[in-house]
Structure 1
């Protein structure tokens, strides 16, 4: 599982810069020939603005002379920057709050790189989505929501607990929530290593794990995500996984109790649904975030 990731680990250290007096036509040519989407405008080594493809489009729409206009005339200023040691979560907040897709990266007063929403998507896809999507408006939802119990889910364990909240017992609706909790024990970790073949010493060898960034053994990330699947199994119907988008936000220690929470956020038609999927530790720390798409078939009659 991922430890906190900083901008230093995801940024592109190659960044194209131009001075403010650069003619816009030259800036446009540089964007085209280099196959890039933005240029950082720098004065005396300090970023003072950004020229993007959108700025070039706006320049054309305003019918301004690209040979007479300079980068200073068409740039977006001041630039929204981020520090090289800031977290990628902070970068997402700035992408969202300032409606930009690229951030110059600073190390003190020095420009050292650039980071984009695409760069982040490789590490935390759920945050990249949040950088551009609008909050879902849940107002106007109606219905008498209640806790429901699945009677067909076998093989329960005394350590497990689950909760399912929805309007109906026999159908999935927008806003339905299912939760599943269990302790990830030593036995679970060893059994998962055997079943999956993932014998990474980080999960099995205490002495080896003590020398890693985590300083002790942790549970497999995929084992933690498995609790999401367990929660989804408590939805009405025979649930078939179609896709799962996962971001690992932090480690889970062996012996931690975790809770997976899945909420239906979109009906896709043909008995398919999109859900947000999260997992938290008992202390409330979120360790998994993502989305799933499932198909809800009818439960077969085995009588």
Structure 2
């Protein structure tokens, strides 16, 4: 049987609301040592925001730290379901040129699948799998 998303995803993603400030979102990323967060509106997934978004779309454009994350979040977010086939997810990520996708049950985030997750599961000898499996830098 082909692997499904729920077998590879990172569970319990951190979700921020579209009304959270960039300062709050950046602090959450720093505290949790993550580079992306799922963005929701009243709990329903509407986007994703990365540390790169904060820098390129935020700081570089002069947007202040009190701005709302909804201004920077990638709004045309691609999502998958926990029971989706991994081969389909790979194709979705390729077609949409994304490195991570929120996993949703209905409208609620239940996980995230990243390129690193896929590499560790499907291409264990790759450099990406090795890097993804390494403990984070302190």
Contact kept, 8 Å, 2:35 with 2:50, in 1: the verdict is yes
1:25 correspondence with 2:23: yes
User: Which runs of structure 2 are paired with 1:45-64 in the superposition (5 Å)?
Assistant: 45-58=43-56, 59-64=58-63
Which residue pairs with 1:109 in the alignment? 107
User: Which runs of structure 2 are paired with 1:6-25 in the superposition (5 Å)?
Assistant: 6-25=4-23
In structure 1, C-alpha distance between the alignment counterparts of 2:122 and 2:60, rounded to whole Å = 36
| TM-score (structure 2 length as normaliser) | 0.83
Following TM superposition, where does structure 1 have runs of at least 4 consecutive aligned residues deviating by more than 6 angstroms? Answer: none
Compare the two structures and name the one with the higher helix fraction.
Answer: 2
Which residue pairs with 1:65 in the alignment? 64
What is the deviation of 1:93? 1.3
What is the deviation of 1:45? 2.0
Unpaired segments of 5 or more residues in structure 2? 128-138
Which residue pairs with 2:97 in the alignment? 99
Mark the CA change 1:47 to 1:109 in structure 2 (over 3 Å): closer, same or farther.
closer
What is the deviation of 1:109? 3.5
What is the deviation of 1:110? 3.1
Instruction: Please give the root-mean-square deviation of Cα atoms over the aligned residues, in Å.
Output: 1.8
In structure 1, C-alpha distance between the alignment counterparts of 2:60 and 2:108, rounded to whole Å = 34
Instruction: Decide which structure has the larger Cα Rg and report it.
Output: 1
- Higher relative CO (Cα under 8 Å, sequence separation at least 6) belongs to 2
Say how many residue pairs are matched.
Answer: 125
Compare the two structures and name the one with the higher strand fraction.
Answer: 1
What is the deviation of 1:23? 0.5
What is the deviation of 1:76? 0.5
Which residue pairs with 2:135 in the alignment? none
Unpaired segments of 5 or more residues in structure 1? 130-303
Mark the CA change 1:10 to 1:62 in structure 2 (over 3 Å): closer, same or farther.
same
| Residue deviations 1:97-124 (CA, integer Å, cap 9, x gap) | 2221111101233321111111111121
